[in-house]
Structures are given as C-alpha cells and as structure tokens.
Amino acid sequence: MKRASILAAALLLAGCSTTVQGTPRAASFDGSGGGDLPNLLTECDWVLDDQIAATVGGDAIARGFFGAICRWDVSGPNGIVKVTSNWFENGSLATERETNEKMMYSVTDISVKGRNAIRSQPPKDPDSCGVTAGGPDAGIVGWWVQYLPGSGHPDPCTAATELMELTLDLSQ
C-alpha cells in the first residue's frame, strides 16, 4: 500500500511540473516611470490634494489607497465626500461605457478639454457621479465623486468634471 501511495504521488508531481526555458533574471524597476507608462506611480498626484478638497467643497482631505485606483476622504460642511480616481493604462471609453451600462448607470457623452469623455451616474443615486476620459499618455482616467445623501451638496457631476479638467490641464 505504501509503495502504491509513493508511486501515485510521484506520478501526480510529474504531471504538474513544467520546465521554463531561459535564464532567470531579477526584475528591475527604478521608479522613474520611463518606458510606455511615463506617469507610473504618479497618477494619484495629477491633481493636488488641496485642489481636490476645494473642488468638492471640503476643507480637509485624507489620502487612501494608491495604485491604479486612488481614494480620498474629504471633509467639510457637507460631511464626508468620497473621491476616487483611476488610471487604467489599457482601458478604453468603449469598455467603460459598456461596463457602466451593464450596471444600468446613466451614461452621457461629454467633452472635457476637447477630449471625448463619458459621464456616468448610478441609478437612484443623485449624490454620486463619475467622469472618464482618454488618459494623458495612454488608456483612460476617471474621477468619481460621492457625497452623503441629503447633505445639501453641490452637483457631483460638476465636481467630477472639474477634477477631470484639472487632470487634463496638467497633462498638456
């Protein structure tokens, strides 16, 4: 019985192994953002924190997760405002439109700084809005603004559009 178990284990391991040709090399990245993605690791800095806070009507801002998706919590007279930005270097407006429409969001074609863009708003959520446009270098950039319900806040679509304008101004 022990011999059969060992044989079965050997056959299982042999069937799961793969040989990769070549010589292994350590990955190198100097953080400079060179190559095809020159703004890598700086996409969350396209708009300054104080500009984000002022745009959504807040006076204090706290940074959250950074990467392909950047998040901030802004506080002010309208309570906490959730602000999210994203940069998908391989994204497209067509994919964003399709995704938002599948979620049954209202999607409208707009232009921001002469670029094609879309404005998206979740159903039954007038406190939340997003704007997505072609990225400064590649892909797409998006901004989402979400106010607390009933907080007497400004229009979230106006705020998201203004954040996109600031982003595209910095990219020229």
pLDDT, one tens digit per residue, over 157-170 is: 999 999 999 998 85
Domain that holds residue 62: 43-165
> CATH number of the domain that 53 lies in?
3.40.1000
Share of the chain above pLDDT 70, in %: 72
Residues 82-108 as b/e (b if ≥16 CB within 10 A, e otherwise) read bbbbbbbbebebeebbeebeeeebebe
- Report phi then psi at 120, rounded to 5: -125, 140
The count of domains in the chain is: 1
Is position 50 within any domain? yes
CA-to-CA distance for 144 and 72, rounded, in angstroms?
Answer: 10
Is position 6 within any domain? no
Mean pLDDT score of the chain: 81
49 pLDDT higher than 50? yes
pTM of structure: 0.74
Is position 74 within any domain? yes
The pLDDT value recorded for residue 151 is 75
Is position 32 within any domain? no
